[in-house]
Amino acid sequence: MKRFFSIIIAIGIMALLLVGCGQKAEDKPKTEDKSSTETTENKKETESTEDKDTFVVGMEAAYAPFNWTQIDDSNGAVQIDGLKEYAGGYDVEIAKIIAEKLGKKLVIKKMEWSGLPLSILSGKIDAVIAGMSPSDERREQMDFTNHYYTSDLIVVVKKGGPFEKVTSIKEFKDAKITAMQGTIHYNVIDQLEGILKLEPMDDFPAMRVALEAGKIDGYISEVPEGKSASHANPNFTYQELTEGFEVKNPEEVSIAVGVAKGSDLVEKINKILSEISEEQRTEIMNQAIVNQPAMN
């Protein structure tokens, strides 16, 4: 009898196992296909500009006369995305022309200078139009269009100061000099002989404040910003140096539009830029210098 009951129990256990193994696939709990979801999200991030109604441009909005921040839409300024402030300047006017020719609505995002390349890589913006030079290092992260402005390096100083009449990079002995971080401006400081090289500063408004306060004797910039600084503050001036800075690559003193690697926007924007004459570019820049708010 014990053997009989043991056999019956064994048969019962086998039957239960067979029922478990025969469970239909559709009865099993479904798991989310993460790879499929991630692929969909990536497609959204890399969505072609052709499929969008907007042209999203990133800039610092703190580099007059190329770009700045103001409180209203005067002189054609564009509201900054997510803020009650507006962006104006040469870059904004160029961005407006490009957006119009592309048939898109211009959206401007204000962000830190160092974050601009990353925003291109992540797809948060379509283009960088921010007075940016297409250096070799930046070309590793993004593609660039043809230049839309070219200038020369200068040093902004105080009027009436010991360096007002300087015309050579050899005549700044003992001057306290700085420049904006992450730019060619800071890289060329070492060409100035006998100067006190200070730590780089975050932006041009900060350097103008430091110059006015006497904390620095000058900062390295470019002609348009020098004109902008002297227009905004009559205590400032600059000299176009007859013996000036040397740059290995002419592109380092030119600015271009940065876009994602492999983007079809390069060809399209180049065509648009080719239709903007030098006379028109000069007029836009001169007007930007006049339009800049006093605080910039």
pTM of the model: 0.76
Q: Name the token pair of 206.
A: 């900060």
Q: Name the token pair of 194.
A: 């006998």
CATH code of the domain occupying 52-150+254-291? 3.40.190.10
Secondary structure of residue 179 in the 3-state scheme: coil
Reported as half-sphere exposure (CB side, CA atoms, 13 A), residue 280 has a value of 9
- The three state secondary structure string of 33-99 is CHHHHHHHHHHHHCCCHHHCCEEEEEECCCECCCEEEECCCHHHCEEECCCCCEEECHHHHHHHHHH
Query: 72: how many CB neighbours lie within 10 A of its CB?
Result: 12
Task: Give, in degrees to the nearest 5, the angle at Cα 70 between 93 and 59.
Answer: 55
Show pLDDT as tens, one digit a residue, over the chain (296 residues). Answer: 344 444 444 444 444 444 444 443 444 444 444 444 443 444 444 445 556 899 999 999 999 999 999 999 999 999 999 999 999 999 999 999 999 999 999 999 999 999 999 999 999 999 999 999 998 889 999 999 999 999 899 999 999 999 999 999 999 999 999 999 889 999 999 999 999 999 999 999 999 999 999 999 999 999 999 999 999 999 999 988 999 999 888 888 899 999 999 999 999 999 999 999 999 999 999 999 999 987 55
Give the bridge partners for 156, in sequence order. Answer: 219, 238
- Start and end residues for every CATH 3.40.190.10 domain found in the chain: 52-150+254-291, 153-239
The CATH H-level superfamily of 153-239 is: Periplasmic binding protein-like II (3.40.190.10)
Q: Return the closest-CA partner of residue 52 out of 265, 261, 276.
A: 265
Dist. CA 129–CA 108, nearest whole Å: 10
Element at 154 (helix H, strand E): strand 153-158
Please report which residue ranges of the chain form alpha helices under DSSP H: 2-21, 34-45, 90-102, 116-122, 136-139, 184-187, 204-212, 223-232, 265-274, 278-291
Task: Give, in degrees to the nearest 5, the angle at Cα 12 between 22 and 29.
Answer: 30
Q: Return the closest-CA partner of residue 227 out of 215, 214, 240, 218.
A: 240
Handedness of CA 239, 233, 207, 256 (dihedral sign): negative
